Amino acid sequence: MKFNPKLKLNFFKKKRKKEKHPEAKADKEVKKEKEKEDKKEAKKQETTEASSKAADSKNQEDFLKAIKQEKEIKLKGRAKKKYDEKKIAEEREKLETKFEETKEKETLFEKKKKIDKHLKKDMKKLKRAKGKNIFSKRKKDFSLRGFVRAINLQNFHEKAGLSLDAKNVAKKIFLINVFFCLAISLVLIILTIVFNKGLVNLLILLLGFWLTIFFFLLALTWFVYLFYLDMMIFKRTKAVEEVFPDFLQLTSANISAGMPVDRALWYAVRPGFGVLAKEIELVAKNTIAGEDLSTAMVTFANKYNSKIIQRSINLLLEGMSSGGEMADLLNKIALNIEETKILRKEMAASVTTYVIFITFATILAAPVLFGLATQLLEIIKEITMSMGAGITTSGSFFGFSLTSDSIKSTDFRIFAYAMLTISSVSSACIVSVIRKGRVREGLIQIPVFIAVSLIIYTISSVVIRGMFGSLI
């Protein structure tokens, strides 16, 4: 091996450095000790952190366990509550069933009691009715309720648009007649006291009055009231028929715009429609309350005795059930109604000659002829009186005698008045049927015809008397 001088020098240098710097060694040892202490502290920190982490994890586990326990307790409480509620409901049902059973038993017991009472009464009646004809028909007693039900007065009020109770109306009519007859009977009592006719005559007169005139007046008031209701219903039907085609056209326009049938009907109502607007509002209220649209429309159609309304609503309901095009159908119905109205007007115009002839015969010809007949009768009477004796003729088969007292002029005038009234009533009805197809529409013309015919009769009799004054 060769000797390296550089290595030797380095070794000596290091040795010298060690000898020269003994403090550096101490510093190194201090540094080492510090590093060891730092490592220990780091280990301690790691252990403390690990222990804290473990403690935190334990706390979290305990917290989660506590939450789970709370949830379990809540669920158990809910289950208990549900179980308790079910038990309570079952107990309630049991109590209700028991209560209903007791009620049914009580009702059955009461029914049995009533049946026993009725049986006892029937047995008593049967014992009393021994030897009598039990199976003979029982006479029905007259009562206001039975009369009101028989004529169906409430239905008349609904059709006439009057919100009146039928029973109250019947009572009022009865009381009005009673008070009127009491007033007349008071007048009769006063007159008998003034003229000293006697109590027997007064009692007979009052008894006859209450047995005949009271019932006659009651029947007359009922006839007038029912006639008034009938005319009110007729006016309402006429008002509905006049506006009905316009209403159908508006509903067809609404349906073609995309509305359903029920909304199209409600939105087609206008305030100018009057009675029809109120009726459609009633139909809407009934449908909102839960009634079917078809049944509500059928009740509306049956409310009025009009073939136009009934046929058009039947067609509307058939179209709804079959699922056809409602807009075109309603438009065609409206046009058909308008065409029928025009045809009626044309028919009335084509028969005007018959109307003129009937009115001329009843208003002018008949009164003038009756006036002439009365004056001829008076002339014949004056001639027979001037001759002094009556004219008598005899033949093999018949004979007659004409005297001044054979026919009285007053009797003939009464006959003329009666015949003129009858002919004017019949002619007014015929004219209304020819012109408008209904007798009710010509009822207003009856008093006009009667008044005109009677006035012309009186005038013609006066004029003819003046003309034949020289002969009398």
- Does some domain include residue 12? no
pTM of model > 0.75: no
* CA distance linking residue 160 with residue 233, whole number of Å: 5
- Does some domain include residue 138? no
pLDDT tens track for 299-355 = 888 888 888 888 888 888 888 888 778 888 888 888 888 888 888 888 878 888 888
- Does some domain include residue 303? yes
Check whether residue 329 and residue 278 sit in a common domain.
yes
- Domain span at 262: 237-343
**The one-letter amino acid at 439:** V
Check whether residue 297 and residue 331 sit in a common domain.
yes
Mean pLDDT, contiguous 10-residue spans, the chain (472 residues): 51 52 60 75 71 63 73 72 76 78 76 72 65 48 57 80 84 90 89 83 86 89 88 86 88 86 84 84 83 84 84 85 81 88 83 87 90 84 67 49 63 89 90 80 84 91 78 54
- Does some domain include residue 68? no
- Does some domain include residue 63? no
SS (H, E, C) the chain: CCCCHHHHHHHHHHHHHHHHCHHHHHHHHHHHHHHHHHHHHHHHHHHHHHHHHHHHHHHHHHHHHHHHHHHHHHHHHHHHHHHHHHHHHHHHHHHHHHHHHHHHHHHHHHHHHHHHHHHHHHHHHHHHCCCCCCCCCCCCCCCHHHHHHHHCHHHHHHHHCCCCCHHHHHHHHHHHHHHHHHHHHHHHHHHHHHHCCCHHHHHHHHHHHHHHHHHHHHHHHHHHHHHHHHHHHHHHHHHHHHHHHHHHHHHHHHHHCCCCHHHHHHHCCCHHHCHHHHHHHHHHHHHHCCCCHHHHHHHHHHHCCCHHHHHHHHHHHHHHHHCCCHHHHHHHHHHHHHHHHHHHHHHHHHCHHHHHHHHHHHHHHHHHHHHHHHHHHHHHHHHHHHHCCCEEEECCCCEEEECCCCCCHHHHHHHHHHHHHHHHHHHHHHHHHHHHCCCHHHCCHHHHHHHHHHHHHHHHHHHHHHHCCCCC
Check whether residue 363 and residue 458 sit in a common domain.
yes
Check whether residue 314 and residue 370 sit in a common domain.
no
Check whether residue 366 and residue 461 sit in a common domain.
yes
- Does some domain include residue 116? no
Number of structural domains in the chain? 3
- Does some domain include residue 439? yes
Instruction: Provide the token pair at 325.
Output: 């095009």
pLDDT tens track for 294-303 = 888 888 888 8
- Does some domain include residue 42? no
pLDDT value at residue 125: 66
Check whether residue 219 and residue 247 sit in a common domain.
no
pLDDT value at residue 159: 82
Question: Which of 177, 202, 233 corresponds to the end of one domain?
Answer: 233
Q: CA dihedral defined by 145, 151, 157, 163, rounded to 10 degrees?
A: 10
Check whether residue 249 and residue 207 sit in a common domain.
no
pLDDT value at residue 452: 92
Check whether residue 191 and residue 225 sit in a common domain.
yes
Check whether residue 308 and residue 364 sit in a common domain.
no
